[in-house]
């Protein structure tokens, strides 16, 4: 019984959302606002049970790890963001979290620069490897603005645009297919789970 | 006091993280454990900011009787009910909380994102009108990749899936790699700017 009610509610909300294809209307607005409320409502207990209880409450109050009172208090300092007079206090927990950027310096250098360069430096004995090499170099030079893009240099950097256009086209194609598969999923739900036309 | 101390915290913790990566030792491993342990305690408190902000926006809309204020009641009611259900019956599989997730959250989210399938088509029409050779390249690459990922592409000719693979593995890889190198250098530079206090927008406020 609850499953049937659930399917009917899900179908109604799906149709409310799809009604936006006609134009903005009260059904869509209702579904949109409901989505915001339910999503936020979902994350409150989720965070409480999966983050607050195991990592803050239990170690501090049940296992008596009293040193954790310090991050506990630092966390509470976030709430000063809503005070116009003391909002600067909320910078302390933000600063603590921002300390992570120190990890970003060597990690981003390693993962997105050094590893990429290493995988690019292969023997140029294959047409595809040569194309990848030329494409990468021409894209990097395209974003080098200290020299005017004219003459032979300009022509070489324009090859970079071509490579980027192919890359953007491929990414766009992938995005379209991902959205289409979501749409197919919703249509299957309406015709299968709800109306029973698809077995 | 208001800006300098937070900036000092970022600098010190940041330098310790750099040391953690470059000087692997028990001490640096302990530092990472300590930081992660404290971050996990601090993190959950931040959700209150989001909840309070949402409630404040919609409460003010209701109070001022702003246009469409009735929908704000829907948002707040959904927020309160879902939260209460989660706290009363728990969040395990089979609870009313998961029933709400399955029958409200999932269809709403999936349908909202599937709507983009329609709008992306009209956006594609506007963007892809082959007005230049570069736009034509983008259009052709997108069409081949789309056809190559579905069975109709194979049905037309076996070349389409092969060309799709080649596009993804060669020119697309070159494009991704070139952009990734730029992004990596940008991330490194931004991280250094934050650590050294040149970039301070995360502090917010004026004083």
**Gyration radius of chain B over CA positions:** 25
Q: What is the DSSP letter of A62?
A: I
- What pLDDT band is residue B144 in, cutting at 50, 70 and 90? very high
> Does position A70 have pLDDT exceeding 90, yes or no?
yes
Residue bearing tokens 């991050």 = A71
A 23-52 residues inside an 8 A Cβ radius of B = 29-49, 51-52
Give the span between the Cα atoms of B200 and A3, in whole angstroms: 51
pLDDT value at residue B172 = 95
Q: Mean pLDDT: which of A7-16, A91-100, B146-155 is highest?
A: A7-16
On whether any CB of chain A is under 8 Å from the CB of B60, the answer is: no
The interface pTM score, or ipTM, of the predicted complex is 0.87
Using a CB-CB cut-off of 8 Å, the residues of chain B touching A169 are 137-142, 145, 167
CA distances from A113 to A70, A106, B104, B187 (A): 37, 10, 43, 10
Residue B130 backbone dihedrals phi, psi, to 5 degrees: -70, 80
- What pLDDT band is residue A111 in, cutting at 50, 70 and 90? confident
- Closest approach of A150 to chain B, Cα-based (Å): 18
Give the span between the Cα atoms of A48 and B101, in whole angstroms: 16
Q: Higher pLDDT residue, A142 or B2?
A: A142
**Three-state secondary structure call for residue B1:** coil
> Does position B107 have pLDDT exceeding 70, yes or no?
yes
Whether residue A92 and residue B16 make contact (CB cut-off 8 A), yes or no, is no
Q: pLDDT above 90 covers what percent of chain B?
A: 76
Contact A59, A65 (CB under 8 A): yes
> Does position B1 have pLDDT exceeding 90, yes or no?
no
- Please compute the mean of the pLDDT values over residues A120-147 and round it to a whole number: 92
pLDDT value at residue A112 = 87
Give the span between the Cα atoms of A40 and A54, in whole angstroms: 21
**Residue of chain B whose Cα is closest to the Cα of A130:** B170
Give the span between the Cα atoms of A74 and A93, in whole angstroms: 6
Environment class of residue A98 by beta-carbon count within 10 Å: exposed (0-12), middle (13-18) or buried (19+)?
Answer: buried
A 152-181 residues inside an 8 A Cβ radius of B = 160-177, 179-180
pLDDT value at residue B130 = 63
Reported as a single tens digit per residue, the pLDDT across B28-50 is: 999 999 999 999 999 999 999 99
Reported as a single tens digit per residue, the pLDDT across B48-84 is: 999 999 999 999 999 999 999 999 999 999 999 999 9
User: Residues near A7 by Cβ (< 8 Å), separated by ≥ 6?
Assistant: A193, A194, B103
> Does position B205 have pLDDT exceeding 80, yes or no?
no
Using a CB-CB cut-off of 8 Å, the residues of chain A touching B37 are 55, 68, 71
- Structure-token pair, residue A26: 């009260």
**Three-state secondary structure call for residue B119:** helix
Give the span between the Cα atoms of A183 and B192, in whole angstroms: 43
- Closest approach of A29 to chain B, Cα-based (Å): 7
Contact B203, A87 (CB under 8 A): no
């Amino acid at each position: 019984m609850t499953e049937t009610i659930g399917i009917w509610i899900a179908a109604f909300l799906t149709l409310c959302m799809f009604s936006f294809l006609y134009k903005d209307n009260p059904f869509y607005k209702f579904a949109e606002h409901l989505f915001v409320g339910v999503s936020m409502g979902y994350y409150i207990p989720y965070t409480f049970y999966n983050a607050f209880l195991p990592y803050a409450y239990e170690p501090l109050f049940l296992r008596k790890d009293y040193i954790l009172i310090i991050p506990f208090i630092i966390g509470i300092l976030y709430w000063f963001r809503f005070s116009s007079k003391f909002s600067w206090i909320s910078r302390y927990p933000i600063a603590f979290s921002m300390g992570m950027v120190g990890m970003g310096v060597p990690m981003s250098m390693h993962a997105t620069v050094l590893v990429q360069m290493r995988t690019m430096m292969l023997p140029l004995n294959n047409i595809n490897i040569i194309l990848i090499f030329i494409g990468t170099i021409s894209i990097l030079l395209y974003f080098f603005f200290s020299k005017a893009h004219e003459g032979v240099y300009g022509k070489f950097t324009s090859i970079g645009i071509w490579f980027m256009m192919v890359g953007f086209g491929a990414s766009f194609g992938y995005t379209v297919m991902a959205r289409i598969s979501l749409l197919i999923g919703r249509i299957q739900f309406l015709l299968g789970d709800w109306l029973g036309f698809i077995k | 006091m208001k800006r300098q101390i937070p900036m000092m915290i970022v600098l010190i913790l940041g330098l310790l993280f750099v040391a953690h990566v470059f000087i692997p030792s028990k001490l640096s491993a302990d530092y990472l454990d300590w930081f992660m342990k404290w971050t996990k305690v601090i993190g959950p408190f931040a959700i209150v900011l989001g909840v309070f902000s949402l409630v404040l926006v919609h409460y003010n809309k209701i109070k001022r009787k702003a246009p469409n204020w009735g929908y704000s009641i829907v948002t707040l009611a959904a927020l309160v009910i879902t939260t209460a259900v989660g706290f009363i019956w728990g969040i395990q599989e089979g609870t009313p909380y998961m029933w709400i997730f399955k029958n409200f959250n999932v269809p709403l989210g999936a349908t909202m994102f599937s709507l983009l399938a329609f709008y992306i088509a009209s956006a594609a029409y506007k963007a892809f009108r082959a007005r230049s050779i570069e736009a034509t390249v983008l259009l052709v690459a997108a069409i081949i990749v789309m056809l190559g990922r579905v069975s109709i592409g194979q049905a037309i000719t076996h070349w389409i899936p092969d060309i799709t693979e080649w596009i993804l593995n060669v020119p697309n890889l070159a494009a991704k790699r070139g952009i990734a190198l730029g992004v990596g250098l940008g991330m490194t530079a931004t991280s250094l700017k934050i650590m050294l206090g040149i970039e301070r927008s995360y502090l917010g406020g004026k004083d």
